[in-house]
Each structure stands twice: as C-alpha cells, then as structure tokens.
Amino acid sequence: MVNPGAVFAPAFLASAVEAIEMAVIVIGVGAARGWRSTLLGAAGGMAVLAVVVVALGRALTVVPIGSLRLVVGGLLLVFGLQWLRKGIRRVSANGLAGYSGGVHLEDEPPPVPGRVDWTAFVLSFKGVLLEGLEVAFIAVTFGATANAFTPAIAGAVSAVVLVGAIAAASQAWVRRIPRSVLQLAVGLLLTSFGTFWGAEGLGVEWPGSDAAILGLLLLYSTMAAVYTLALRRRAQARGAEAQAQVPAMRRS
C-alpha cells in the first residue's frame, strides 16, 4: 500500500509550479488589459480543460502536449515581444512613474467597454489551457505510477486552489503598479514563458528544467534595462543638441 502523503506531496509541488505560471499570466494580462475578458478567457480555458479531462480520463497522455507547447509558446513569444518593445519605449520616455490615460498605447486600440477584448481573452485562455493540461498530466502520471489517483488528484487540485487564492489576493497590489511598468513586466513574462514553452515544444531540454524560466526572465530584464537606458541617453543627447541649436539660430 502506497503512503498517500508520498503521492500527494510531489503532485502538489509539481502542480504548484505549473499553477504559478498560469496565475502569473492571468494576473499580468488582467491588470494590463482589464479583468472581464481575462477572466472570461480563463473560464473558457478551464471549461475546455474540463471537457478534455472528463473525455479522456487516464488516457490524457495521448494529447500532443509538445505541439500544444510549440503553438502556445510561439504565439505568446511574438505577442510578448510586442508588449516588451512598447514597454521599453514607454518606460524610456516616461521613466518608472508611469503615465496617465491607461495602459493602452496610441498604436494599440483599447478594448471597447462592454465588448470582449479578444487579446486578453486569447492570452488568458491559452495560458490556463496549457498549464491546466500540464497539471492534469502531473496528476495522471503520479497517480498511475503509484496506482493511487485520489491523493495525486487531491495534490494537484490543492495546488491550483492555493495558488489561485494567493493570486486573487495579490491582484489589488498588482493594480498599483504604474501602467507603463506593468506593460513592460507583462511583456517580459510573456516573452520568457513563450521562449521556454516554444523551445520545449520542439524538444529542447532546458538547463535546470522549469528554473530556466527564471534565467530567461533575468536575461530579458537585463536586456530591457540596457535598451531602456540606451534609448533614454539617445533622447537626452538629442534634447541637448536641440537646445544648443536654439541660441545659434537666434544669433544668426
């Protein structure tokens, strides 16, 4: 007889890692684009996940998770890079104090009140579906290995509920982050997750496994800081040049 705790604990810990990734995407997108469409996307992802899990049950491992990671990762990466570049430009222009008028840039149409913001919906839907499937895989794998599905499922569900509760409690704090910084931060997160999942979908084995996401986040944060400083210095140099030309024009 397998000790239920020996199945619950690893299923809980492994699922918690995936649930944190899911929560980070939902919280980031919700804070940046608005909560209604983000939560609709999350609910849609959960509904599809529930149908897949109920329909396939223990045969869940037939789902081509590698292809799913590649598609979701690729889409998150190209979209994350758009926000990352816009965030760098915005922070380099306005600093970390943010700017008024909401997160939406002049070249990015804001969501229409009362209508679904498909950008938020799609990002949230994909994040929840992919990470939810990974949690389901963990429960099935641990459950099948130890022939003890109940503690494995309990561990996975507990991790999702606990991380979800912590994420819900933290969203008020996330709302206080300046909008331009938030766009940069969410761009960094989407780009890091997109790089990780996309390459993993192709079959890449990342050094350090899931911890490589933190390495990617560090690399891209450093890159963003360097590019932001470079843009600020360029803008300051141009401003100084323009100021130097004014007296010269007045003299002539």
Partner 1 sequence: MIAALRGFLLFWYGFVIGDDWTVAAAVAAGFVGTWLLLRAHLPAWWLLPLVVVVITGVSLRRSLTRG
Give me the residues that bind partner 1 (CB under 8 A), please.
70, 74-75, 77-79, 81-82, 84-85, 88-89, 107, 118-119, 122, 191, 195, 198-199, 202-207, 212, 216, 219-220, 223, 227, 231, 234
3-class DSSP state for residue 180?
A: helix
The residue assigned the tokens 């050094």 is 207
Write out the two tokens for 129: 């579906």
11 vs 72, beta carbon nearer partner 1 = 72
Shortest Å distance, C-beta 29 to partner 1: 13
CB nearer to partner 1: give 19 or 77.
Answer: 77
Q: How far is the CB of 186 from partner 1 (least distance, A)?
A: 15
Cβ proximity to partner 1, 74 vs 95, nearer residue: 74
- Name the residue nearer to partner 1 (CB basis): 80 or 155: 80
Least distance in angstroms from the C-beta of 77 to partner 1 = 6
Nearer to partner 1, 150 or 222 (CB): 222
What is the smallest separation between the CB atom of 79 and partner 1, expressed in angstroms? Answer: 6
Q: List Cβ neighbours of 57 (8 Å cut-off, separation of 6 or more).
A: none
CA distances from 19 to 128, 171, 241 (A): 9, 16, 51
CA-CA-CA-CA torsion sign (178, 179, 180, 181): positive
Kindly report the number of other CB atoms within 10 A of residue 188's CB atom. Answer: 24
Q: At what angle do helices 179-202 and 118-146 cross, to 10 degrees?
A: 50
CB of 13 to partner 1, least distance (A): 24
